[in-house]
Structure 1
Amino acid sequence: MAETNNNNNTATEMPGEATTNAAATTAERKVSWAKLRRVDSLNMEAGNASWSRTLNLAFQSIGVIYGDIGTSPLYVYASTFPDGIGNNDDILGVLSLIIYTLILVPMIKYVFLVLWANDNGDGGTFALYSLICRYAKVALIPNDQPEDRELSNYRLDTASNQLKRAQKIKEKLEKSKTAKIVLFLATILGTSMVIGDGVLTPCISVLSAVSGIKPLNQDAVVFISIGILIIIFCVQRFGTDKVGYSFAPAICLWFLFISGIGLYNLFKHDLGVLRAFNPKYIVDYFKRNGKKGWISLGGIVLCITGTEAMFADLGHFNVPAIQISFSGIVFPSLLAAYIGQAAYLSKFPDPFYWPTFVVANAAAIIASQAMISGAFAIISQSLSLSCFPRVKVVHTSDKYEGQVYIPEVNYFLMVACVIVTYSFKTTEKIGNAYGIAVVAVMLITTCLVTLIMLMIWKTKIWWIWLFFIIFMSIETIYFSSVLYKFTQGGYLPLAFSLVLMTMMGIWHYTQQQRYLYELKNKVSSSYVRDLSKNENINRLPGIGFLYSELVQGIPPIFPHFISNIPSIHSVIVFVSIKSIPISKVALEERFLFRQVEPREYRIFRCVARYGYKELIEEPKEFERMLVENLKEFIREEHYILETEQMPDNIPHSGLLGARKSSSSSAVHIEEAIEQQITSRVSSSSIQSFNAANNSNRISGGVPVQSAEDEMQFVQRAMDEGVFYLIGEAEVVAKQDSSLVKKMAINYGYPFLRKNFRQGEKSLAIPRTRLLRVGMTYEI
């Protein structure tokens, strides 16, 4: 198909250099490279900020991120010693394990290493996956375009002498289908485990806090906990921003409380527990307890629950803010709390209860809030990569783009929490399940960050081996311990993750097969030309948006529309909503247009590009933005076409130089040329919008006019109305397909589509302007 391949985003500036367009209005649309800077995951700090801003973010992060890890002292020792403390020296061994686990995993691994593996300031499993997808073509849906790499923060260039090794790894990943599938499965497994955290964190945190009321029996504790959980989920619709501004003071009070009590217990009962800083006590602990000591690691690992939240919630803050808040407040408070508990237990081996039930419950509620919000955020990200069925995503904050609320997921989590709390009843059993989810996510993060070190950061190989061996060894040992309690509750997160992975896998696989079918069966280049000769096709006033997954070519649903409804609008735009493997796309770079030949029939293709942290605008705003960018594209296209036809007395090289110059004289030259071009257009060759409507056959296309007239034509078409055309593609497996494929495509995918939101609902398309036509895809 004859098409023009010009990106309408030509107003990008490099430092000391600018690009201007033909018309004065376009010349004014300069996009500063300072705003659209290329950033590196190794150096990005989730946005540059002054020290005062960083300190403010550090304070806010305490309330959002650390509620989970901050409430761990409520249940770590109880989970580690479920049968009581047999030997006082075991307290020193467990305390030593807690101290060095906190130093190695949250402090060294996450705060000083993993946080730098962010994707333009955003963290989490999907951020790591998108970062890898940007460097290597490992995404399972083949919709990459060369133009996408022109986006301001798409490509990351790091200077390194390890380029050859990185290039070899990249080539192996791109050639291996198995590697692509494994990478995708690891990503959705990590995602499923984080969502599982969203179920288990509220259960164990609230149950632990309520258990502090000594007179209550077990049933009363369970029902009070369920009541608190229901309240937590019911207030989610108000948004984290409204509910959470008081979280930071409350969590600061909590950390002050546990550190104060810890120091009091240390000086009051036993200063000797400070000997636990000697790692010799770890060796002695395992020598003394053997297998029992290894099993107890399943309780000790709970001291780092919520560590992944530091990385997952990075997009709301910046790297220095999290480093300051953890190193300066959270880490010393946790050390003081665990040391004080050990000092108390050395004198009073029986379990002890927190003296302030209200503070403990407030902290537990906040801890629950952090992981629930994290589950919302990660599902929102997975939606954009076609890894999760469509759900309604509501932005709850004007200040923080990442704060979202998903009603369907919220109530699903609430029901799951109530069932888990009622079924397990005690923190020990939930802790067995909780540990598996926590450590599994950490293992996946270690593997993905290692791959980033190899391929993107191009770190020296001995640093990479050191990172991988140390943290993989620690996390594998902990993982083996928590797996030992598989039958005692550990099966829960694995079963939960298996269900989620199956659902996400079926959805993503079928979406991939749909895309490949459309790509294989896209309309031939001669279709539109043949259509123009068909006198039975009418042109209707208005603009038609035909939605398609394809980013190239005309989808097979279009001729199906024509065969059922022999009419098309005066302007047709094939719209493809595409997710880019970056968190955000600049508004100036949102739309990519191409024009379908013959030009006079005004059929365009548009790729609307969104980062995985962004949502599509409301219909009116989306229509306005698309049409404004379409008119800009028409202006630039006319400029290029007319300059190619300029007389020889205006040299092309000088003209191109004028377009690249940022001086005012260059703008004057362009304006003069624009006037010459316009004056050459005969008024007799211009037909009005009404004239175009009077010629109501598609064969009566309007000749190509001047840029201003074409733009007016599009604007008048928009004033007549924007109409949405959506194909309802029924997907069925071929007769010779395997049984597993038939089950997934013929039963699993229709079930998910039926029970989740349809396309027009997720796009918020007005029903009065929606036209749907059905079609069957046999894949």
Structure 2
Amino acid sequence: MKTIKHIDTQRLSLAGLLISLGIIFGDIGTSPLYVVKAIFNKGVIEEDLILGSLSCVFWTLTLQTSIKYVWITLNADNKGEGGILSLYSLVRKKAKWLFIPAIIGASTLLADGMITPAITISSAVEGLAIHYPEVPTVPIVVFIISILFIIQRFGTSIVGKIFGPLMFVWFSTIGTLGLLYVIQAPEIFAALNPYYAISTLISHPNALYFIGAIFLCTTGAEALYSDMGHCGKANIRISWIFVKLMLILNYFGQGVWLHQHAGYTMGNINPFYAIMPDGFVVYGVAIATLAAVVASQAMITGSYTLISEAVRLNIWPKVAIRYPSHHKGQLYVPSINLVLYIGCMLIIAVFQESSNMEAAYGLAINVTFIMTTILMCNFLLRLKINKIAILVFAIAYFSIEFTFLAGNIVKITHGGWLTLLLASTLFIVMFSWYGARKIKNSFVRFVDVRKYYPIISELSEDKSVPLFASHIVYLTSANNSHEIEHKIIYSMINKKPKRADVYWLVHVDVMDNPHTREYVVKKLIPNKLIRIDFKLGFREEHQISLLFRKAVEDMVEKGEIDITSNYQTLKKHGIPGDFNFVILEKIIAKTNDLKWYQKVIIEIYKILKKFSLSEERGFGLDSSFVTLERVPLNIPTTKKVILKRLN
């Protein structure tokens, strides 16, 4: 299959393979904790269901994880970065409607991510009940998750270094435990025959519920793509061979235990712990809990990255993003940390036990898979691959994923409503923020800045106008360097004339690739009006104040501009003039002319605006050098006003 050429962020290496174990496979690697238990759902262990369920697990991992994600989707890298928003940035210019599947996929990924710490850590800790049935597990789970979210503000780069070795121990352990049972009954490998999967899906009376439980084995597949930038696709593909082998050995080992207990009621027994020797269970619970923490940490870090991308792409309110360490890619988003924590606590409060969470898990992430398939089809069309091959891909994976969706829809009444509610809330936030920006932009009127060159030049020299600042900087959204918002001209000339030695226009263009940092200088009026266009990748921080200062320093070094103050005393001593950023906060004055759904979007936007960063903080500006002006976008005109003057 045709791929985009690029240099992997990390070449194939032993260190890269180890890192990928710790970062990429946490979620999918802990699925044996609850998948088999979810399939049999405390009921009778049916002989006919054992081979069928194992066959479904194997072929789901093969078709959904190995082929779709590891082999095909990893090719859709954006300069080495992956994830649904990275994929969207590759195809967004081809079709504007693709922002819908992008934000649906992002919101469902975040929503189902909230349940990952709850279900994995609960499943791990509940193993204590084997030897200590009187110990309450819920408080322990709440404590572990609380500590996990608290330490995020301090950075996790040190903890991250042990993730790889820890997950290597985890996978080796579960593989070995499974192998000890598999060698007792090697005939269990008959489940590799897809006949058993197809036969079970067709004939089993609870096939839909069964499909929903099977889907849990691949819920972490999206993480393989989302976290590609941390270790490169070559390391992911090679390490997946080891991970998949260990997973299959463990699943099939649990299958042998099921055969040995066919006809019995499973009850609260978890086959994952049942295949452990009695003396090893306590150690097994400890290792499983640590692995669950790793899986949860990967989900949290992935959520931070997703939100930071969404902010740059203007589909999420501007929120504070911190960098708690010098570790590459290390982010901390306080608001999202709180949202995820509240979501986890809500899920634990509602479901209490992992067996109840299993009924709700998977529904939202299933929707993410479908949205990724939609975006992938558009990406493949962009590569001009044989359309028959793309059609085969689309038919195959829409069929598989909609079949899984049919099984997961059954979960709505069993708790899936909660993840759908969370996903819907996140979707409304994204859609409203994106939609309000579009509505506001529709009111923005651009004018030809060249018509104002003479006025701007004269204003700069007009001593009758008080000097506002030596340098005035306006942020402009005009893509065309010959255009400017009418509101900027109004602020500069009409509202209160602002004299400056030099006027600057700064434009930020968010690029489709992740890590671009470039700028272009255009001298519209030499030494009077200068425009700087910053081209920033969608993963780059918008530190406009710092970037602008660096660009000006470069221009001064090259002798392109003299920023020495024109005040006589300061000029005598060669002191630079002051800079003042004028931020125009655009507001919609009235909503009478808007359609009803636009009014709803604007009202939601106003609420979100209260919780988002201010304009100056959002652009990384020092507030002491900022003048904020609120400007209405839709001022009522006097054309339709009927007014009679009396003598």
> Does TM-score exceed 0.5, indicating one fold?
yes
- Please give the secondary structure, in 2, of the residue aligned with 1:567: coil
The residue aligned with 2:552 is 627
The one-letter code matched in structure 2 to 1:415 is: I
* Shift, 1:347, TM fit: 1.0
Distance in 2, matches of 1:632 and 1:478, equals: 61
CA contact (8 A) 1:79 1:427 kept: no
CA contact (8 A) 1:541 1:693 kept: no
* Shift, 1:625, TM fit: 1.5
Deviations 1:373-411 (A, max 9, x none): 1111011111111110001112345342x3311011101
The residue aligned with 1:318 is 232
The residue aligned with 2:155 is 239
1:416 to 316, 319, 343: 343
Q: How do 1:112-127 and structure 2 match up within 5 A?
A: 112-127=71-86
* Shift, 1:103, TM fit: 1.2
The residue aligned with 1:555 is 485
The residue aligned with 2:198 is 283
* Shift, 1:217, TM fit: 6.4
The residue aligned with 1:6 is none
The residue aligned with 2:450 is 525
CA contact (8 A) 1:546 1:724 kept: yes
- Please give the secondary structure, in 2, of the residue aligned with 1:434: coil
The residue aligned with 1:370 is 298
The residue aligned with 1:404 is 331
The one-letter code matched in structure 2 to 1:110 is: Y
Deviations 1:199-226 (A, max 9, x none): 1111111111111111666992222211
Stretches of structure 1 lacking an aligned partner (at least 5 in a row): 1-39, 139-172, 174-179, 639-686, 697-711
Stretches of structure 2 lacking an aligned partner (at least 5 in a row): 274-280, 636-647
- Please give the secondary structure, in 1, of the residue aligned with 2:454: helix
The one-letter code matched in structure 2 to 1:505 is: F
- Please give the secondary structure, in 1, of the residue aligned with 2:429: helix
- Please give the secondary structure, in 1, of the residue aligned with 2:583: strand
The residue aligned with 2:141 is 225
Are residue 467 (structure 1) and residue 393 (structure 2) matched? yes
The one-letter code matched in structure 1 to 2:380 is: M
* Shift, 1:629, TM fit: 4.3
Distance in 1, matches of 2:253 and 2:479, equals: 60
The residue aligned with 1:570 is 501
Deviations 1:449-502 (A, max 9, x none): 1111112x2111222122222222111111110012211111222222211111
Distance in 1, matches of 2:630 and 2:524, equals: 24
Distance in 2, matches of 1:119 and 1:41, equals: 11
Distance in 2, matches of 1:453 and 1:221, equals: 47
- Please give the secondary structure, in 1, of the residue aligned with 2:398: helix
1:502 to 389, 414, 428: 428
* Shift, 1:729, TM fit: 2.1
The residue aligned with 2:256 is 343
CA contact (8 A) 1:240 1:373 kept: no
The residue aligned with 2:107 is 192
Are residue 380 (structure 1) and residue 301 (structure 2) matched? no
* Shift, 1:260, TM fit: 0.8
The one-letter code matched in structure 1 to 2:512 is: P
CA contact (8 A) 2:208 2:410 kept: no
Cα distance change on mapping 1:632 and 1:478 into 2, 3 Å: farther
Cα distance change on mapping 1:631 and 1:404 into 2, 3 Å: same
Cα distance change on mapping 1:733 and 1:260 into 2, 3 Å: farther
Distance in 1, matches of 2:406 and 2:134, equals: 30
TM-score (ref. length: structure 1): 0.74
Cα distance change on mapping 1:111 and 1:370 into 2, 3 Å: same
Cα distance change on mapping 1:774 and 1:46 into 2, 3 Å: same
Distance in 1, matches of 2:564 and 2:251, equals: 77
* Shift, 1:263, TM fit: 0.6
Q: How do 1:525-674 and structure 2 match up within 5 A?
A: 525-533=450-458, 535=462, 536-539=464-467, 542-552=470-480, 553-562=483-492, 563-585=494-516, 587=517, 590-597=518-525, 599=526, 602-617=528-543, 619=545, 621-631=546-556, 635=560
Distance in 2, matches of 1:755 and 1:689, equals: 40
- Please give the secondary structure, in 1, of the residue aligned with 2:127: coil
Are residue 44 (structure 1) and residue 6 (structure 2) matched? yes
CA contact (8 A) 2:510 2:538 kept: yes
* Shift, 1:778, TM fit: 2.2
The residue aligned with 2:125 is 210
Cα distance change on mapping 1:475 and 1:743 into 2, 3 Å: closer
CA contact (8 A) 1:46 1:122 kept: no
Distance in 1, matches of 2:40 and 2:593, equals: 57
CA contact (8 A) 1:203 1:420 kept: yes
Distance in 2, matches of 1:416 and 1:44, equals: 38
1:723 to 580, 584, 589: 580
Distance in 1, matches of 2:374 and 2:559, equals: 47
The residue aligned with 1:201 is 116
Cα distance change on mapping 1:266 and 1:614 into 2, 3 Å: same
The residue aligned with 2:276 is none
CA contact (8 A) 1:540 1:693 kept: no
Cα distance change on mapping 1:689 and 1:631 into 2, 3 Å: closer
Distance in 1, matches of 2:544 and 2:122, equals: 41
CA contact (8 A) 1:206 1:361 kept: yes
User: How many residue pairs were aligned?
Assistant: 612
Moved more, 276-285 or 243-252: 276-285
The residue aligned with 1:492 is 418
The one-letter code matched in structure 2 to 1:267 is: I
The one-letter code matched in structure 2 to 1:253 is: V
Deviations 1:282-311 (A, max 9, x none): 233235423x02321111110112111010
Are residue 271 (structure 1) and residue 186 (structure 2) matched? yes
CA contact (8 A) 1:233 1:414 kept: yes
The one-letter code matched in structure 2 to 1:765 is: L
CA contact (8 A) 2:543 2:620 kept: no
* Shift, 1:756, TM fit: 1.5
* Shift, 1:559, TM fit: 3.4
CA contact (8 A) 1:266 1:344 kept: no
2:366 to 439, 450, 454: 439
* Shift, 1:119, TM fit: 1.0
Deviations 1:652-676 (A, max 9, x none): xxxxxxxxxxxxxxxxxxxxxxxxx
* Shift, 1:633, TM fit: 8.3
- Please give the secondary structure, in 2, of the residue aligned with 1:256: helix
* Shift, 1:247, TM fit: 0.7
* Shift, 1:523, TM fit: 6.0
Moved more, 96-105 or 552-561: 552-561
CA contact (8 A) 2:108 2:423 kept: yes
CA RMSD across the alignment: 2.7
Cα distance change on mapping 1:729 and 1:105 into 2, 3 Å: same
Cα distance change on mapping 1:688 and 1:192 into 2, 3 Å: closer
The residue aligned with 1:252 is 168
The one-letter code matched in structure 2 to 1:559 is: I
* Shift, 1:98, TM fit: 0.5
Cα distance change on mapping 1:111 and 1:219 into 2, 3 Å: same
Moved more, 736-745 or 556-565: 556-565
Deviations 1:222-250 (A, max 9, x none): 22211111111111122242221111111
CA contact (8 A) 1:241 1:397 kept: yes
Deviations 1:701-753 (A, max 9, x none): xxxxxxxxxxx99x967x233322211222245422222212221x2111111
The residue aligned with 2:618 is 762
The one-letter code matched in structure 2 to 1:625 is: K
CA contact (8 A) 1:44 1:116 kept: no
The one-letter code matched in structure 2 to 1:580 is: M
- Please give the secondary structure, in 1, of the residue aligned with 2:470: strand
The one-letter code matched in structure 1 to 2:55 is: S
The residue aligned with 2:247 is 334
Cα distance change on mapping 1:716 and 1:604 into 2, 3 Å: farther
CA contact (8 A) 1:43 1:116 kept: no
Deviations 1:56-103 (A, max 9, x none): 211111001111111100000111111423421211110011111111
Cα distance change on mapping 1:369 and 1:557 into 2, 3 Å: same
CA contact (8 A) 2:617 2:623 kept: no
1:307 to 216, 221, 229: 221
The one-letter code matched in structure 2 to 1:743 is: V
